[in-house]
Amino acid sequence: MSDLRDIWQQEGPPSDEDLLKYLRGKSNPEEQHALERQMADSSFVNDAVEGLEAFGDDAKLQQYAAQLNRDLKKQTSKKRQRKRSRGIRDQQWTIVAISVILLLCLLAFWVIRHYHSLR
């Protein structure tokens, strides 16, 4: 009954294991029907199943997935390093700008004070 009240409940994308079980023919009829319904509703799921069918060999698939994960980690780590180094450079300019402003304020204070002492 609580399922009927939750109108936002949606099935998530199928897991890797579900897709592989479907392709190997080891899933039960309920799981097959649910996955086929998702394939009909979502072109993304349909493309995923077609792509997995093209691989055929599980070893190749695992090797390809590991390679993609390594490449993704390399790319994201490079971006993080660039962000960190950029942040340090920006902080240096902030410190320089604050120092210059403080020096100008001190100089203005000294000039005004010196000008009033001459009168």
- Angle of CA points 113, 116, 117, to nearest 5°: 85
Examine the pLDDT at 43 and tell me if it is beyond 80: yes
State residue 8's pLDDT score: 58
Q: Decide which of 90 and 39 is more confident.
A: 39
Three-state DSSP at 44 gives helix
Q: Which range, 1-10, 79-88, 110-119, is most confident?
A: 110-119
Please give the average per-residue pLDDT across 99-104, as a whole number. Answer: 97
Looking at the chain, the whole-number percentage of residues with pLDDT higher than 90 is 18
Please give the average per-residue pLDDT across 3-20, as a whole number. Answer: 70
For the chain, the distance separating the N- and C-terminal CA atoms, rounded to the nearest angstrom, is 90
- Angle of CA points 39, 40, 41, to nearest 5°: 90
pLDDT confidence bin for 1, thresholds 50/70/90: very low
State residue 9's pLDDT score: 52
Element (H, E) at 68: helix 58-118
Examine the pLDDT at 36 and tell me if it is beyond 50: yes
- Angle of CA points 74, 62, 15, to nearest 5°: 95
State residue 4's pLDDT score: 55
Please give the average per-residue pLDDT across 70-85, as a whole number. Answer: 82
Please give the average per-residue pLDDT across 35-45, as a whole number. Answer: 89
Are 27 and 35 in contact by the 8 Å Cβ rule? The answer is yes
